[in-house]
Amino acid sequence: MRFLLDAEQAEFGRTLGRMLAAADTPAAVRAWGAGDSAPGSAVWRRLAGAGVFGLAVPEKCGGAGFLPVDLIVSFVELGRYAVPGPVVETAVAAVLLERLGDTGGLADIWRPAIAAGDAMVSYADLARGPYALDAATADVTFLVDGDTLRASDGSGPVQPSVDPARRLARCPGGAVLASGPAVRAAAAQADDIARLLTAAQALGVGRRLLDDTVAYVKQRTQFGVAIGSFQAVKHRLADVLLALEFAEPLVYGAAVEVAGASQAGTADAADAAGVGIAMAKVAAGEAAYAAARAALQLHGALGYTDELDLSLWIRKARALRNAWGTPAECRARVLPSPVATTR
């Protein structure tokens, strides 16, 4: 199979990139980590105006329909510019509500708000842990607890995180929106979508780290020459490039599988797509992490300093590697256990 973005998708990505480049996202990230959500919310509204969140919302609710490949195009750019906030969780909440159908009318309220950028939504599956991302800032947090879906509009204190811009907090229980096996099934699909969008973000983070590091080694000199001319430096960066180049088709391929599974509407198709997503998450997460380590080493001690914008992406790469599925968890999804294969 030969897959290429069409002209409209490619231009969409370039337009988002230009918009985010002009938005001073590093300043928004720093403010977000310090508890000031105003600059990040301004970026959020511009993204919504460009139609990013509408890509996860059906047309009947003001969106463009569920378009996985277009979502990947946009989330790669969100990672490239380190956009703060529960971007993955907001998109996933829209998908979850669509999968569930009737949730007492609240779905019909929140999905148009998500598409329009009027609602910042967080989402957590408590089977993964007790914390929700940016619940203190979100308008509502959807919580899956076993086979129950609740809507919480509050949060506890923000907890320290490896990435200060990822503000984690526990949420109190809220109104029950739905319960039963359908919630668990919808949550399983929502987890896969969250993993896929996180992989796309990681890919964008890795690309940015590589670009910035290549630019740095071209201008940093030692012994009278640019350090980028040293063979050891070239090899280190080539390894990062290969890892990213390997991950990219897996991420887009998984999005194509998700689109096919959404049309098929069968559990088998969704499970097969989930395996592809797990492969993409491992590859993208590890590639971004390798890019972060290379960037840290080749920038020297500068990479550790908070003052350097590079640190924003380095810390994000580490967090995204484990968000919505650690490498070990994703590998277990891809590879059947030895016990299972011998039965």
pLDDT at site 343: 46
Q: Is position 311 within any domain?
A: yes
Per-residue pLDDT tens over the stretch 131-165: 999 999 999 999 999 999 999 988 899 998 899 99
Residue 17 and residue 192: Cα distance in Å, rounded?
26
Q: What is the mean pLDDT of the chain?
A: 92
- How many Cβ atoms sit within 10 Å of the Cβ of residue 249? 13
Q: What is the DSSP string of 255-286?
A: HHHHHHHHHH--HHHHHHHHHHHHHHHHHHHH
- Domain assignment present for residue 234? The answer is yes
Position 145 in a domain: no
Asked if the model's pLDDT at residue 342 lies above 70, the reply is no
Q: Per-residue pLDDT for 325 more than 90? A: yes
| Direct distance between the N- and C-terminal alpha carbons of the chain, in angstroms, rounded to an integer | 34
Q: Is residue 210 part of a domain?
A: yes
Torsion of CA 247, 72, 161, 165, to 10 degrees: 130
274 lies in which domain range?
184-334
pLDDT single digits (tens) 186-245: 999 999 999 999 999 999 999 999 999 999 999 999 999 999 999 999 999 999 999 999
Residue 158 lies in a domain: no
Residue 321 included in any domain: yes
pLDDT tens per residue across span 86-95: 999 999 999 9
pLDDT of res. 338: 56
The pairing of strands 148-152 and 140-145 is antiparallel
3-6 contacts at long range (C-beta below 8 A, 24 or more positions apart)? 3/249, 3/252, 3/253, 3/256, 5/69, 5/73
Residue 312 lies in a domain: yes
Is residue 194 in some structural domain? yes
Element (H, E) at 185: helix 181-219
Q: What is the CATH number of the domain that holds 242?
A: 1.20.140.10
Query: Which of 101, 197, 111, 86 has the alpha carbon at shortest distance from 149?
Result: 101
Task: Report the number of distinct structural domains present in the chain.
Answer: 1
pTM of the model: 0.95
pLDDT at 275: 95
